[in-house]
Amino acid sequence: MKKLNIFVSMLLLLAVATFTLSSCSDDKLGETIFPDIDETLDPNSMTYKLDKFLRENYLNVYNLDFRYKMQDVGTNMNYNLVPATYENSIDLAVLTKFLWFDAYKEVAGPDFLKLYGPRIIHLIGSPAYNPTSGTEIVGLAEGGIKVSLFKVNAMDITDFEMMNEYYFKTMHHEFAHILHQRKTYPSEFNLLSASKYDGNNWQDRQDGVVNSWGFVTTYASSENREDFAETIANFVVKTDAQWNRILELASRGWATPSSEDEFNAEYFCYYYYKNNEVDPEKIEYCYEDQVIKVPQEDGTVLMYFRNDTDSSGNRIVVYNVEDTDGIDGKEIILKKVQIARQWLADEWGVDLDALRAEVQKRQLNYDITELRKQVTEIQ
Amino acid sequence: MNKLYHISVLLLMAVLMFSTSCLKTEEDDIFDKSAASRLDDVRDSYTNILTEKGGKWQMEYFTTDEEPGYVYLMTFQKDGSVTISGKNVWISRVDDVSAITPSFGSETSLWEVITDNGPVLSFNSYNRFFHLFADPEDIPSTDEGDTDEQGYGHSGDYEFDLMKYSGDTLYLEGKKHGNNIIMTRLEPSIEDQTYMDDVVALADSFFNAKIPQTFITLPNDRRFVVTNGASLILSMYPEDGDWVSQTETYSAIITPSGLNFMNPVRLYADKDSTSYYDVQHFVRQADGSLLCRENNQVKFTADTLSKIMAGQSFKWRMVENGYAGDLEDFISIFEAGLKAYNKATLRYKYFDISYVAAQETFTFTFAVRANGRNSTCNLYLDVERVSDNQVRFVFNGEGDSNAKVYLQRVEALQDFCNYLSSTTFEIRPNSLLSPTEVRLVSADDDVTALTLILQ
């Protein structure tokens, strides 16, 4: 019986083998089910010049699809969005190359972005509004391969601050995400401000206050990954004056006269005593533009309230709010930068300071008319 | 050993089941091309449809049912560009947020038929005068700036599923918001601004705020009161129903062919809602009325003409010198009588007919100048409805003190009043939907007539 079972089992296994080998044995690959796509650009197309520029500078070099014709299916359908204008698409195409791709090429070598750059850049004309939080999305990095740049129709090429905030910074911010999605950054970074992240209410926070907590922007205080991307992006694109201002505000103490919770309160870093009567009950807070600063020979600076005098006609003395939060914001920001600097050097071979210098040089000296010629003068 | 036996049986069964998918008993392909190729063919077909014969189209564009529809002209070029023209107040507000009158705007942008789950007409670069309806910025804009935006805007579409092409008409559906959109082919020689100016002028002539109520009448004569026509967000309720609880609003658009509702409107033929008519497209007739395309016995008009003439809220003014036939003679004789009495003259060669609530009567008003003084005279009369489209002006010999003087002293005025009182006038309006100008023609001779304009 045992032998019979073995025999039957062997027969069955033989049958399995026969079926397995014979199944589909004469399958052959037929013609492709996909239609032949003509990759030739049509010189009669209205968009021929831009398409040719994008092919020669993005697709052929970086295998990157620069999508300026918005595809609704490539967006979050919960948002109402509109396409970018053709004219702004040209500007952003040449600026993205000049300020992002060429800058990295200069600092990290020609292959860096070929290997690690996004494969799709998608331009979207409007912001994506989040009505519940009162915020707007200006950039997205998805899956390490796609970067969406929003609000393209609001571009004002003459407004450097605006261009920096919404586009240049966004490019480096989103690319930082792409990089850390491939190789994670040291977890030590996440511990530096662990108790201060708030993903729901970051938009209600105040710039100077979050600086003093060790964040470069309010958005950086939303979560550690955004903090990391914001730290790199702001360090790279902010001018020396803008960066030093962040560090200066980070060194300040901040206080509020409000009894409301911190998200709705307005914070100040200057105060004075009403009528110069030094009494905690007489403290009033003021804005920076209400303060007159008078440098002294010994290097100190005296500060006075611009808008009033005391009953004797004397200037009202202004004081810095004492930093009592126990956090050295400036030191934390610099530590974060150092972690990013080391991580970029170790993991990617990129010199953050050199990158910053290259981006600064480019963003302060570009001539958009000249850059546009790369497209408009294509034959 | 049993285990080996069982495993072998299970393996054999599994292989038999899976191997069936590879058996050569498949039927031949139903289609001669792959799905992707067929979709590309459809895309090419729609691309040709849009660009052939000059590529000019009229789009009936809707956003939500809280906004009227807007007419746009589109000229599709094979180079991927499309010129989009329109005339509406939102175009005006692109450059002036406080604008309240429509402006013409035309801009060229990009278009493409893309293959999504089916062919989709995509306007894929921003056009200032078209994509404004898809912009997420709040309407009106928020005072608080970006932090207060809700992200809805007009909630209009700029990508449209191409549903059907029939008789030079394309039927589309907004991809995100699902509104039905119709595109109709136009002659390429049409000049965009002239066309849009005509469309807006036509829309202005459809409804007039001075005629606050219009009516959709079903074949069984059940009527629905329509108000707010000029806004094209039409309010509607059954005349025999309750306007408070039964009023519904419907978005509509006016095109050169007539008026179309955004979606079919269901009108019940009786109070019990046992039968109904679904109406959506109304075609403009030569008499100015609208006739339903889905059922040509459903009409859209103003109220019965004699009711409007006898309506207490209307004031009519005779067009200066706008009289003919016997009336010409009577007025000449009246003028001569005025002159003979006290060298008075008619200040204006027209008269007003209106209802004066204080006197609870209609008045026939004329103005004279005598002895260096101007005076207004009001004769009292009834506007009598003879039939749906016929009226008589019946003077009762009463009037204010000025009128009474002339009535007693100028015999020709009495004769004039007697003539009017005895004459039945047929009402011939400029439009059955918006009768703001009527020609009253004597039913006796078809010559005697006067023209009145609604004030």
User: Where is pLDDT greater, at A46 or B13?
Assistant: A46
Q: Which residues are paired to B290 by β-bridges?
A: B284, B300
Q: Where are the alpha helices (DSSP H) in B20-102?
A: 35-51, 89-95
pLDDT at A24 over 90: no
- List Cβ neighbours of B178 (8 Å cut-off, separation of 6 or more): none
pLDDT above 70: percentage of residues in chain A: 88
Say how far apart CA A70 and CA A72 lie, in whole Å. Answer: 6
Backbone CA torsion sign across B326, B331, B337, B340? negative
pLDDT at B189 over 90: yes
Q: Which of the four pLDDT bands, split at 50, 70 and 90, describes residue B2?
A: low
The pLDDT score that the predictor gives to residue B28 is 62
Say how far apart CA B37 and CA B231 lie, in whole Å. Answer: 46
Residue A100 and residue A175 in contact, taking contact as beta carbons nearer than 8 Å: yes
Give the gap in angstroms from C-alpha A91 to the nearest C-alpha of chain B: 14
Three-state secondary structure call for residue B111: coil
Contact B40 A69 (CB under 8 A): no
Say how far apart CA B237 and CA B224 lie, in whole Å. Answer: 5
Say how far apart CA B455 and CA B452 lie, in whole Å. Answer: 9
Cα dist from A81 to A126, A214, A331, B159, whole Å: 6, 34, 40, 11
**Mutation site for B-interface testing, chosen from A123, A129, A218, A219 by largest number of B Cβ within 10 Å:** A129
Three-state secondary structure call for residue A2: helix
Say how far apart CA A354 and CA B443 lie, in whole Å. Answer: 97
Say how far apart CA A255 and CA B327 lie, in whole Å. Answer: 89
- List Cβ neighbours of A239 (8 Å cut-off, separation of 6 or more): A360, A364
- What is the pLDDT averaged over residues B163-169? 94
Chain A segment 96-125 residues within 8 A of B by beta carbon are 125
Phi, psi of A76 (to 5 degrees): -75, 115
Contact A47 B110 (CB under 8 A): yes
The pLDDT score that the predictor gives to residue B145 is 52
Q: What are A133-170's pLDDT values in tens digits?
A: 777 887 787 777 888 999 999 999 888 788 888 888 98
Please give the residue of chain A at the shortest CA–CA distance from B134.
A82
Contact A82 B131 (CB under 8 A): yes
Q: What are B384-416's pLDDT values in tens digits?
A: 999 999 999 999 889 999 899 899 999 999 999
- What is the pLDDT averaged over residues B431-454? 93
Residue of A203, A237, A228 lying closest to A218 (CA atoms): A203
Residue of A323, A344, A335, A14 lying closest to A180 (CA atoms): A344
The pLDDT score that the predictor gives to residue A19 is 47
User: Where is pLDDT greater, at B57 or A14?
Assistant: B57
Say how far apart CA B37 and CA A210 lie, in whole Å. Answer: 56
Q: Which of the four pLDDT bands, split at 50, 70 and 90, describes residue B213?
A: very high
The pLDDT score that the predictor gives to residue A237 is 94
Chain A segment 82-101 residues within 8 A of B by beta carbon are 82-86, 89
Give the single-character DSSP code of B98.
Answer: T
Tell me which chain A residues have a C-beta less than 8 angstroms from the C-beta of B78.
Answer: 44
The pLDDT score that the predictor gives to residue B14 is 58
Please give the residue of chain A at the shortest CA–CA distance from B41.
A35
Tell how far CA A125 is from the center of its chain: 18
Contact A86 B135 (CB under 8 A): no
CB-nearest to B5 from A8, A79, A135 is: A8
- Both tokens of A57, joined, read 């500078």
Residue A169 and residue A151 in contact, taking contact as beta carbons nearer than 8 Å: no
- What is the pLDDT averaged over residues B160-173? 95
Domain ranges of chain B: 35-202, 207-302, 308-454
Contact B134 A46 (CB under 8 A): no
User: Where is pLDDT greater, at A31 or B321?
Assistant: B321
Sequence letter at residue B113: V
Mean pLDDT of chain A: 87
Tell me which chain B residues have a C-beta less than 8 angstroms from the C-beta of A126.
Answer: 135-137
Q: What are A93-104's pLDDT values in tens digits?
A: 999 999 999 999
Q: Which of the four pLDDT bands, split at 50, 70 and 90, describes residue B246?
A: very high
Tell me which chain A residues have a C-beta less than 8 angstroms from the C-beta of B152.
Answer: 80
The pLDDT score that the predictor gives to residue A135 is 79
The pLDDT score that the predictor gives to residue B196 is 97
Give the single-character DSSP code of A322.
Answer: P
Sequence letter at residue A379: Q
The pLDDT score that the predictor gives to residue A49 is 96
Domains within chain A, CATH numbers bracketed: 44-182+364-379 (3.40.390.70), 270-320 (no CATH)
The pLDDT score that the predictor gives to residue A163 is 85
Contact B16 A5 (CB under 8 A): no
CB-nearest to A86 from B114, B125, B136 is: B125
Please give the residue of chain A at the shortest CA–CA distance from B3.
A9
Strand spans (E) along B38-179: 56-61, 70-76, 81-88, 103-110, 112-115, 119-122, 159-166, 169-174
pLDDT at B18 over 60: no
pLDDT at A280 over 80: yes
Strand spans (E) along B247-296: 248-255, 258-268, 276-284, 290-292
User: Where is pLDDT greater, at B260 or B312?
Assistant: B260
- Chains A and B: how many Cβ contacts under 8 Å? 141
Say how far apart CA B113 and CA B122 lie, in whole Å. Answer: 6
pLDDT at A336 over 70: yes
Q: What are A66-81's pLDDT values in tens digits?
A: 999 998 878 888 888 9
Say how far apart CA B385 and CA A335 lie, in whole Å. Answer: 93
Is A158 touching B (CB cutoff 8 A)? no
The pLDDT score that the predictor gives to residue A167 is 85
pLDDT at B184 over 90: yes
**Mutation site for B-interface testing, chosen from A11, A42, A80 by largest number of B Cβ within 10 Å:** A80
- Both tokens of B127, joined, read 């056009």
Residue of B221, B169, B183 lying closest to B69 (CA atoms): B183
Residue of B110, B154, B171 lying closest to A83 (CA atoms): B110
Backbone CA torsion sign across A92, A93, A94, A97? positive
Q: Which of the four pLDDT bands, split at 50, 70 and 90, describes residue B15?
A: low
Is A135 touching B (CB cutoff 8 A)? yes
Say how far apart CA A18 and CA B291 lie, in whole Å. Answer: 75
Radius of gyration of chain B (CA): 32
Q: What are B328-362's pLDDT values in tens digits?
A: 899 899 999 999 988 888 888 778 898 888 888 99
- What is the pLDDT averaged over residues A311-331? 91
Please give the residue of chain B at the shortest CA–CA distance from A127.
B136
Q: What is the DSSP string of A123-173?
A: E-SS-EEETTTTEEE-EEEETTTEEEE--GGG--TT-HHHHIIIIIHHHHH
Residue B328 and residue B337 in contact, taking contact as beta carbons nearer than 8 Å: no
Q: Which of the four pLDDT bands, split at 50, 70 and 90, describes residue A4?
A: very low
The pLDDT score that the predictor gives to residue A25 is 46
Residue given tokens 């005279």 in the structure block:
B377
Contact A136 B146 (CB under 8 A): yes
Say how far apart CA B428 and CA B115 lie, in whole Å. Answer: 55
The pLDDT score that the predictor gives to residue B285 is 95
pLDDT at B193 over 90: yes
Dihedral (Cα; B56, B58, B63, B64), 10-degree rounding: -160
Mean pLDDT of chain B: 89
Q: Which residues are paired to B387 by β-bridges?
A: B390
Tell me which chain B residues have a C-beta less than 8 angstroms from the C-beta of A2.
Answer: 1
The pLDDT score that the predictor gives to residue A158 is 85
Tell how far CA A20 is from the center of its chain: 54
- List Cβ neighbours of A18 (8 Å cut-off, separation of 6 or more): none
Tell me which chain A residues have a C-beta less than 8 angstroms from the C-beta of B79.
Answer: 42, 44-46
CB-nearest to A134 from B135, B148, B152 is: B148
Q: Which residues are paired to B281 by β-bridges?
A: B260
For domain B35-202, give the CATH number.
2.40.128
CB-nearest to B125 from A12, A69, A126 is: A69
User: Where is pLDDT greater, at B141 or A90?
Assistant: A90
Cis peptide before B140 (omega within 30 of 0): yes
This complex has an ipTM of 0.77
Tell me which chain B residues have a C-beta less than 8 angstroms from the C-beta of A68.
Answer: 125
Tell me which chain A residues have a C-beta less than 8 angstroms from the C-beta of B148.
Answer: 134
